Amino acid sequence: MNNQHLIHIGTFGKPLGLNGEVKIIMHTFNFDSFKSLSPYLTCDGKTFWNFNQLNIYGSMLVGILQNCNTRNCAEKLNGKKIFIDKNNLPKTKKEYFYISLINCVVMTSNNKLLGNIINIDNFGAGDLINIKNSNGKSFYIPMNKDNIVKVDINRRLVIVNPIKGMLD
């Protein structure tokens, strides 16, 4: 499978307990959407992550993989990414669509070029646009109404108005 068909929907975190339970950082809207997107794939797009359990505990997603029933096994998962094949995404309503912002150009509302989006990350507090500038330095801008002014997917352009001090 071509890696361009893969969509990153989660990342394994630290293990919990002794029986292979591991935290999962979701990059989906909610647990139900994450759970509905199987089959889950590794970064090669050929190997499957097979879960025995996926449960929500408070605001945390916890999973147990097949054949991974020890803490040592779960520790080896930390930081590994969970993907799906984009062809398995559910159909959307007419007025909704999926977009990929990777490689979009990012400019401020006063036409200053900031760089290109290299990833969308979420460390638990919300989605962040990871931008790489022309000097090769990367930085984050939160994806919220305070910072994102406009997304023009046809022009592959994102206009931002970062809060004061973010770019300093």
**What span, in angstroms and rounded, lies between the C-alpha atoms of 168 and 166?**
6
Q: Which residues, listed in sequence order, are joined to residue 63 by a DSSP beta bridge?
A: 22, 54
Are 11 and 27 contacting, i.e. CB atoms less than 8 angstroms apart?
Answer: yes
Starting at the edge strand that comes first in sequence, how are the strands of the sheet with 127-132 ordered?
138-142, 127-132, 113-122, 105-108, 157-160, 148-152
Please give the backbone phi and psi of residue 130, each rounded to the nearest 5 degrees, phi first.
Answer: -95, 115
For residue 43 the two structure tokens come to 């970064």
For residue 70 the two structure tokens come to 């020890």
**What is the value of pTM for the model shown?**
0.63
Strand pairing of 51-57 and 60-65? Answer: antiparallel
For residue 17 the two structure tokens come to 């307990």
User: Residue 90 in 3-state DSSP?
Assistant: coil
Amino acid at 158: V
- Angle CA(56)–CA(62)–CA(66) in degrees, nearest 5? 125
Give the model confidence (pLDDT) of 103-142 as tens digits.
Answer: 899 999 999 999 999 888 777 777 888 999 999 999 999 9
Give the model confidence (pLDDT) of 29-82 as tens digits.
Answer: 778 888 888 899 998 888 999 999 999 988 789 999 999 999 999 999 999 999
